[in-house]
Structure 1
């Protein structure tokens, strides 16, 4: 008897980038699971280039938030800011492609889906002053800040949830291209009209 489900995992189907969190710290056992998920992510030749700085103290979150682009002001309300840094030298570079970026993305995605399974929501951002972030967190100069993710337990306030849903609808955040727009079979431009 097969133990495999033939349905999309709920953690994938229900994942949203949210900014309406309740005021609660991430439990230590949840950190353990999220970090283990990130650690187990695949990487080129198992180089594991991702390094994480977990910012959980309110004062530190406030200070780090000053390094973010003004459109990311919501991040100050997160339970934590997860800063992923890596150096290209810790991973492969093949045909002009730096694999550390892809491998770090896999690591962060593993963390995000584990968080989702635990009832923790997240929102990634790319808008920040890299030198300010590195200075604030004492990240060595040879590292690059790859992504910053705000996380927390989603708010159970009806008003907060309704406002968040309205913003998502207004900005089209729930919209996803269908497979006909993104998938070709065998060669580029062919077979994009249906899934097999």
Structure 2
């Protein structure tokens, strides 16, 4: 497995991680963008500014400090505006070679595939090429077998993922 692990001050389980099998490591971003997305809701809920010690893309930083929080607060008015910052900001690198989406064999997973895999007008840069199976604790053995069958039917490679970030993210109530 290859992944990223980091510590977060101010939450009950301060160590978060995300990992994928080694053969998919080249598909995981070297930025902290994915962690910023996972942590912005808990930060807004607690009212604590979010500072990331790693490279964050300028586009995401701009959107997290503006439209993303405005949209979240329009739905969850108890959430507070926070300041998102990073140790360094960079422009996005070269386009990714693949697009992964989480897959649990639930309705949201199939909705994402309908929009971003089966959709006829999806740009190549947005078309799903891989499925990421995140075990968030609700999947039992029959569910995993069914998910594997669905993956095979969709003819998309899948890679298993860790539990750390997804476990913490699902515990942030609205």
Instruction: Give TM-score scaled by structure 2 length.
Output: 0.26
The structure with higher relative contact order (CA 8 Å, sep 6+) is 1
Specify which structure has the higher proportion of strand.
2
User: Over alpha carbons, which structure has the higher Rg?
Assistant: 1
